[in-house]
Amino acid sequence: MFKLSVLQVFIMKKPNRVRKESEYKVRGASVSNIEVLRELRAMKKIIRERHLRLGYYGDMIFAVVLAISITEVFATAYGYTNFYDSDKKDIAILFRLVDDERQYFTAIGNLTCFIEGTKLNESNVNCVCKNDYKGNDCGIPSSVFDTINNFYKPINLTRRIRPRRIINALNFNHETDLLESRLCDLEDVVDIFVICESNFTAYGDPKRLLLKEALNSNRVIERHSKKIMHILLDKMPSTDSGWIINRYFRVYMGHKSIPYIMNKRDDDLVILNDADEIPTREVLLFLKLYKGYPTPVKLGMKLSIFGFFWRKKQDVVSSNQPELTSMGSVTTVKMLNDVFNGDIFMMRYIRNSPSEMPQILKAISQYRKKVGEPVGWWNIGTIKHPAGFHCSWCLRTESIRQKMLAAHKDDKPRWGDFPNKTDLNYIINLIKTGEWFDGTKPLMRSYEKIEGINYAPRYILQNREKFQYLLYLEEK
């Protein structure tokens, strides 16, 4: 049987003429139609049950698109796109996770060393670690090593026999440049990117589907399309409550994605980020390759505003110490289901929902008794060695204006309601001076060298000409 790297199953409206399954022509790899149809038939019952349970009825047929090893295989009956439109029932997709067979560790004498973190030519008695790697096998990045003793009980890390798979979920508005960086920096450690966008702003105005457009026009994003599970939210709740709107976005994304990812294991990871939060590849690779650490995990990220040249102060009045933003971001599939009841919003914002806290705490207590690994919030990342980059308002000037106008009605003060604040020259001056919309100066210049790995995500540093507006401050 052939090896699947991604399985996408599409449910489409019935066309004028229904082709028989045998008429699906498959090309691009040495796979017979019989093999494809065997896989399709095996999945049909599961898919049909899932969709009927969610209320998908009607005259529909199945088409299948497979990515086998590196070669992409197309079902050419109707063409395809990896786009999910739940209400129109045009297309639904299903992804299948596969195991990572790459070699991350190597034997040196009696030693086992992490290849990426080890100076292999200098290692014979001990694993000699590269800068920013620690541990006996040089597999622990400094951002993890610095915080490994912060948990309430000792953490006993061991290497996994089989790497976890990672699902990275986020909502997307117009952060195209940051999405490029995420996809390129994390492409070999994230197995599926779940990206949800809406054709409405949080304010309720219609908007273009920029990710859908980018998947057909942006070569960088298009190159990663086989890993992108693109979900459309085409309706908004009838409320002015920002809390309800934010929760609705994320709950919808989770319910329309995680159940459709097949071959999941309990210890695979789900990582929820905002579009302007990019974890480091080193931290995610550590989370894939080791076990024994507690979950859920908070990722402490470098907080920048307008660009990586400005950092948010811990204290606006007196402090010159930069702020580290830390949000609950990582959990296992089992914890997501057993503790958070499949609600990815709760793994991040549980502290903002006191009414649901008793139920969650009870579920955590029961979960702790069932699993063999420690349970509890663990913070990864320090100011010196962050676990990622949170670049808020890091957009081109016109996009900052769009962000202001798109904010939900409950986002007070809503700067988009003040015409003088949306003036492009005013916004340009804010970026230059490090001033905020309310007249305060909460920002400080970033002290890291621009050449350093902790200044900005690697992809942005490698493409400085394209991302000058994020890397260099235009002085007054």
pLDDT digits (tens, 9 = 90+) for 216-256: 999 999 999 999 999 999 888 777 777 788 888 999 999 99
As to burial, measured by CB atoms within 10 angstroms (0-12 exposed, 13-18 middle, 19+ buried), residue 110 is exposed
The predicted structure's pLDDT at residue 145: 96
All CATH 3.90.550 domain ranges of the chain, comma separated, are: 166-390
pLDDT at position 93 is: 55
Mean pLDDT, range 53-74, rounded to an integer: 29
Please give the average per-residue pLDDT across 92-97, as a whole number.
73
Interval 136-156 mean pLDDT: 92
**For residue 103, is pLDDT > 50?**
yes
Q: What is the pTM of this model?
A: 0.81
The number of beta carbons lying within 10 Å of the beta carbon of residue 315 is 10
Residue 41 banded pLDDT, cuts 50, 70, 90: low
Q: Is the confidence at residue 22, as pLDDT, over 50?
A: no
Question: Quick check: 297 and 329 in contact, CB under 8 A?
Answer: yes
| Per-residue model confidence (pLDDT) at position 328 | 83
Residue-wise pLDDT tens digits, 390-420: 999 999 999 999 999 998 887 788 999 999 9
Of residues 52 and 266, more confidence is placed in 266
Q: 166-390: which CATH topology?
A: Spore Coat Polysaccharide Biosynthesis Protein SpsA; Chain A (3.90.550)
Cα–Cα distances in Å, from 360 out to 342, 343, 349? Answer: 12, 11, 12
